[in-house]
Structure 1
Amino acid sequence: MAVATRLTWSEQKSLEKMLGNVSLRLLYKSSVHERDIRSMNEKCTRQGPTVTIIYVGNFVLGVFMLGDHPEEHNNFKTVNPSFYFSFQKNAITAMKTAVLETETKINSGQLVCYSSGQEVFSVHPGESSFSVDDSLRNTLGTYLRSGSKYSECEVFHVDGIEDDINYISKITGATKHRDSLLVELGTYKPCVDFVSEIRILLLGPIGSGKSSFINSVKSVFQGRLTRQARVGSDVTSITEQYRIYPIKDGRHGKYLPFRLCDSMGLHEKEGVGLCMEDIPYILKGCMPDRYQLNPSRPITLSHPNFIASPSLKDRIHCVAYVLDINSINDLSSKMVAKFQQIQKEVLSYDTACVLLLTKATNCGEFLQGNFSNMDKPMTFQSRIMDASKMLNIPIYNTFVAENYTSEWELDPIKDTQILFVLRQMLRVAEDFFEDLP
């Protein structure tokens, strides 16, 4: 009979997602296997990174160890970052965490974690007891005292992590930075009272990732992957309507004060893709949501839903040109000329603009220590400069993102990157308001 964890399905998925979309496989369960260190070692040593969890009443306390589970007669153990966490059952969203440089040993029948030479956490399988240092206990917000009994101990193998000693700091750092950005954007308000929401228009070639970016932003705020905007890679545009997408904060259920506007993809041929004559009407705010776009016939003033007298809140406040970072040098001269023509139109309306380069595949490079390198990964420097020069958009308004496309779960690193780009777009849009008479 298969051995099952006490974690609920949602708790295990949340923990796997928090650790970087890993997968957890149960190795040891004290109520099924023998309650001693020998049995634990037989199941867990030489299995690679592990997560050890104990259950105390309604409380869960655990540690993710990057290195191998220690062996009983091997006192040599390298120091690796370890990720400690705690939460109450059915309340994993309120998880408390801590990262410590940890040396792990087997000592007197116990699994013991040391930090700076001091014991911070231990599990005694033979006595079903544990201890936790006062400082760590306070950080994790637990009331549990050393020597307390646990009802269950489980050890999981962690599969799918990078072979990188900085892995834990990257993942936990990304999670903290993502949560900080979510709070900042969740409480965002436009800098002027006469505009209730910022409108950002995405323009780019067919298949460049406009709709995927919208889906990615919506997914991060919903806390799950969602694909409301249709995406595809057909030679003709999948998007056939002009859409104004609201962004809902899934945590609080409120709509946030910014909108992402999607349109038909651009094409180098006339009569294919977004009609150039439609762009001024979109910029001015004359085009209604869900307008059926026609590549060969622009909207007319006689259309029943045409917005004849748009206000400042109806117009586009920022244009984001979207390009596939891997295809910049493959753009034809006709497509480049079309972009430059659009850019002249955008500038004539004094509309702010940014450049968004999508389909970057090594998003981990964006997170360097203090997250100062999220917008300029070194791998793509030459392509960024080429795109910036082509559209005459400053480097400081050029950003790189990796959208969610075929994934099933969210990734904290990718979330952080997407939220960072969105925040910068809003800041550029606010510069637009500063220039208003």
Structure 2
Amino acid sequence: MSASVISTLDLEREHQLLKLFPEPVRLHLLYKATELNSTFPNRFHGVGPFVFVVYLSSGVVRGAYMNKPPTNQGHDENVFLFDVTTTNATKISPEDDSKIKISQVFSCNYEFGNSFKLRTESVSKESCLLVYFSSDEVFNTGWPDECYNITKGDAGFKDLELFRVTGIGDVLPSPWREVSWTERTREDFRESFVFHKVFIESLNSVRVLLLGPTGSGKSSFVNSVRSVMFKRTTHMPASGAGAPGHFKKLKSSIIRAGRGGSPTSLTLCEVMALGEGESAGLSVSDALAVVKGHVPEGYSFQSDTPCNSQTSGYRADPGIKDRIHCVLFVLDARKITTYDGDLQKTIRMLQAKISDLDVPQIVLLTHVDQLCHAEDVKYVYTSRAVKDKMQKAAEFVSMPMCHVLPVKNYAVELDTDCNNDILILSAVHSVLQAIDDTLDDQCVSSTVE
């Protein structure tokens, strides 16, 4: 239909109507009675799925959805009728699927039981298009018996429209976070990282702790950040290797500005994985001991033996340089809906206790490339699937979605990629900002006191 023809369906009602569909869809206007002299074109027959929308002068808007092209006495188990207002839409499904008989009689007649009929009939020897409403035992709409002559333009009738319903796929029309995927952006992020100075002069480097289940990508993220700064992929031993529950050491990796370069202000810390399912993992007490700065570098964690004041090298009175300044919960986007309740319980317990320590917390969502269109990370902020997983990750840890950062770690690549570097550097930038904001707030609070 001509793009100049404007649908009678306003944005508020369209928004409510779209909520009735289980998957994201878009409506394409095919037919508008008031523009086509009420003549229902034959070329639209059999085009589906589609929606009929009838507008009455009283303000009532109702209609029907068909998933399959109509055939003589055809059966469509997905059919439904609806009422829609600016604030709500009511989906009216059949009482009994076995009784659904959607008929296409002749070339222009569509009958949804007795509840909604669109028929071509002879009125005073003139072919007219009529719409009927009623209530029957199949749909039980509760609609009053009404009939409107569309061709004659009955006073109670306003318009009839037909829309084709199409899926809109994974790619959203516009990103929900703006990123410029250019070499200039990558260099700006890298330069900002290299020259970043910690808010507190006595603190040369901030320590960021990565917590997550086995295989979530903690060590890979450390290697990926290093790869971005070295401008080539690096291959460091994966501390997460080994059987689940096997002890791991506290390992702190200073990120340098290139091979042999000066240290940046970021140190990434790895520990034993959090337990999942039947596997034992890092205890809450050990995780908190690391955050508070009590645990010495190289300490070997064991699930059944927590770190305590009797541990060799234990710091009874850790300084600010020993503490953790931000915690990253690392989760796999592919598994976010299948992680068990024990892991969620552990993370939420940690989250509550870490919050009491005034340490910022962020979720690092890995493997998002496998959800993107063509597995290209430049689509990460226009991907419906990625956005959905980010929302689920936020719900899983009970944190705002703005605290969820999507990344793709370097795993099998031999060379770095500009878009992927930008995503990783963007995550690092957000982490450093969160730390700066927290330290600034703590300094202001101590000054006021």
TM-score bracket relative to the smaller structure? 0.5 to 0.7
Amino acid in structure 2 at the alignment position of 1:267 = G
Structure 1 CA distance for aligned equivalents of residues 398 and 294 of structure 2: 27
CA distance 1:353–1:211, shift in 2 (3 Å): same
Consecutive unaligned residues of structure 2, counting only runs of 5 or more, are 1-179
**Is residue 395 of structure 1 aligned with residue 406 of structure 2?**
no
Contact 1:208 1:358 in 2 (8 A): yes
**Is residue 182 of structure 1 aligned with residue 190 of structure 2?**
yes
Contact 1:375 1:398 in 2 (8 A): no
Secondary structure at 2:425's aligned position in 1? helix
Deviation at 1:435, TM superposition (A): 2.7
Which residue of 394, 409, 419 corresponds with 1:413? 419
Which residue of 334, 339, 346 corresponds with 2:354? 346
Partner residue, 1:434:
440
Aligned length: 262
**Is residue 289 of structure 1 aligned with residue 289 of structure 2?**
no
CA distance 1:356–1:376, shift in 2 (3 Å): farther
Deviation at 1:275, TM superposition (A): 2.2
Secondary structure at 1:407's aligned position in 2? coil
**Which has the greater radius of gyration?**
2
Structure 1 CA distance for aligned equivalents of residues 306 and 237 of structure 2: 22
Secondary structure at 1:292's aligned position in 2? coil
Which residue of 410, 416, 428 corresponds with 1:422? 428
Secondary structure at 1:328's aligned position in 2? coil
**Is residue 199 of structure 1 aligned with residue 199 of structure 2?**
no
After superposition, residues 11-22 of structure 1 pair within 5 angstroms as none
After superposition, residues 252-271 of structure 1 pair within 5 angstroms as 253-268=261-276
Deviations 1:207-250 (A, max 9, x none): 10011000100111112211324155765157711111101111
Partner residue, 1:210:
218
Structure 2 CA distance for aligned equivalents of residues 235 and 376 of structure 1: 37
Deviation at 1:269, TM superposition (A): 5.2
Secondary structure at 2:209's aligned position in 1? strand
Deviations 1:126-168 (A, max 9, x none): xxxxxxxxxxxxxxxxxxxxxxxxxxxxxxxxxxxxxxxxxxx
Partner residue, 2:142:
none
Amino acid in structure 1 at the alignment position of 2:378 = L
**Is residue 332 of structure 1 aligned with residue 332 of structure 2?**
no
CA distance 1:426–1:376, shift in 2 (3 Å): farther
Deviations 1:369-393 (A, max 9, x none): xxxxx66743311111111122122
Structure 1 CA distance for aligned equivalents of residues 247 and 217 of structure 2: 11
Deviation at 1:331, TM superposition (A): 1.0
Deviation at 1:394, TM superposition (A): 1.4
Structure 2 CA distance for aligned equivalents of residues 322 and 203 of structure 1: 6
After superposition, residues 140-159 of structure 1 pair within 5 angstroms as none
Secondary structure at 1:402's aligned position in 2? coil
Deviation at 1:276, TM superposition (A): 2.1
Amino acid in structure 1 at the alignment position of 2:405 = F
Secondary structure at 2:272's aligned position in 1? coil
Partner residue, 1:355:
363
Identity of aligned residues (%): 27
- RMSD (Å) for aligned C-alpha atoms: 2.4
After superposition, residues 243-322 of structure 1 pair within 5 angstroms as 243-250=251-258, 253-268=261-276, 272-322=280-330
Amino acid in structure 1 at the alignment position of 2:256 = K
After superposition, residues 53-92 of structure 1 pair within 5 angstroms as none
Amino acid in structure 1 at the alignment position of 2:297 = D
